[in-house]
């Protein structure tokens, strides 16, 4: 049975469906020797190339859906490559065979915290779709006094340049001196929305950390620049949110070799964090460009 080309490529882990549509529109994809077009459908035995390179395709039954939780530091950008040479969120992720990691959404350069990656482009595409309003929670540190009337406006709604917006919840979380911590939630994923909401009340945000995506929380023991693979129950929670069938397999085993794999994974995290400290500009976040 034929399927849409962009769906097949996304499922096989070559990128999100949106990325694949852009590649097809740019003439980078060919099917059986002919340049592909948007809307093309392909059979399972089609010969597909991206930029002239043959790509491997897998059926849905051959693909194990994997998801990583990454603790993004400030100063990293959510792009695969950066012409300015800045560190990207993809540089310390583990290698994956015949596929690549796709980020589920984005965090701006000055925002840290939980960022999810998956090798299943269809899962990423569905989770990022505006209709799939997954609740996100952020820890926000503000600088200076925040009037109660400003907090009430953020609860009831304000008008930003791209339309009405509000926090679903906003709670004070302590602080010292003129620095105050808050926990806020919202279900939209508009660009820099959390910062822009606070800025609409002339409140300066000095730290912004995403601590939760749906029911997936940022592990308290996960260092900045480190990653951890999610167990199958959390993977299937995300697949349920996206309206996909549950996964039945996992790369995280429960046999006698699991301890060894866990040690290898911990070593990878330590190496990633060391590389981050040496090679990035952590501690000197760059101003976000709008």
Residue 286 lies in a domain: no
The pLDDT tens digits of the residues spanning 43-101 come to 878 899 999 998 877 666 667 889 999 999 999 999 888 888 899 999 999 988 767 89
The pLDDT tens digits of the residues spanning 201-254 come to 999 999 999 999 999 999 999 999 999 999 999 999 999 999 998 988 888 763
The reply to whether 152 and 181 lie within a common domain is: yes
Residue 260 lies in a domain: yes
The reply to whether 222 and 273 lie within a common domain is: yes
Residue 252 lies in a domain: yes
Q: What are phi and psi of 50, to 5 degrees?
A: -120, 120
Residue 191 lies in a domain: yes
The reply to whether 46 and 170 lie within a common domain is: no
The end-to-end CA distance of the chain, in Å, is: 44
Q: What is the pLDDT of residue 288?
A: 38
In angstroms, the CA 267 to CA 261 distance is 10
Pick the closest to residue 127 from 115, 138, 113 (CA basis): 115
In angstroms, the CA 102 to CA 19 distance is 10
Residues designated catalytic:
108
The reply to whether 193 and 145 lie within a common domain is: yes
State how many domains the chain has: 3
β 67-72/158-160 pair status: unpaired
**Structural domain boundaries enclosing 27:** 3-60
In angstroms, the CA 120 to CA 103 distance is 10
pTM for the predicted model, two decimal places: 0.75
Indicate the DSSP class of residue 145.
Answer: -
The reply to whether 126 and 224 lie within a common domain is: yes
Domain of residue 255, CATH code: 3.30.2350.10
The reply to whether 154 and 185 lie within a common domain is: yes
């Amino acid at each position: 049975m034929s399927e849409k080309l962009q769906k097949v490529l996304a499922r096989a882990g070559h990128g999100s469906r949106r990325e694949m549509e852009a590649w097809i529109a740019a003439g980078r994809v060919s099917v059986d020797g002919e340049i592909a077009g948007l809307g093309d459908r392909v059979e399972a035995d089609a010969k597909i190339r991206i930029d002239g390179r043959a790509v491997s395709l897998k059926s849905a039954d051959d693909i194990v859906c994997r998801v990583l939780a990454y603790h993004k530091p400030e100063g990293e950008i959510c792009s695969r490559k950066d012409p300015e040479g800045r560190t990207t969120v993809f540089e310390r992720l583990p290698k994956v065979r015949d596929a690549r990691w796709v980020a589920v959404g984005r965090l701006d350069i000055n925002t840290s915290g939980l960022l999810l990656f998956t090798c299943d482009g269809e899962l990423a595409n569905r989770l990022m779709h505006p209709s799939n309003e997954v609740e996100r929670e952020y820890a926000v540190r503000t600088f200076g006094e925040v009037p109660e009337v400003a907090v009430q406006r953020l609860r009831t709604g304000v008008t930003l340049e791209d339309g009405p917006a509000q926090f679903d919840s906003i709670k004070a979380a302590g602080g010292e001196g003129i620095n105050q911590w808050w926990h806020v939630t919202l279900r939209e994923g508009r660009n820099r929305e959390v910062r822009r909401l606070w800025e609409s009340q002339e409140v300066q945000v000095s730290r912004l950390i995403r601590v939760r995506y749906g029911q997936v929380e940022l592990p308290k023991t996960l260092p900045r620049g480190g990653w951890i693979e999610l167990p199958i129950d959390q993977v299937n929670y995300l697949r349920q949110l996206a309206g996909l069938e549950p996964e039945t397999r996992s790369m995280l085993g429960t046999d006698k070799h699991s301890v060894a794999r866990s040690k290898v994974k911990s070593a990878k995290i330590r190496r990633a964090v060391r590389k981050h400290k040496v090679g990035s500009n952590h501690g000197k976040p760059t101003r976000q460009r709008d």
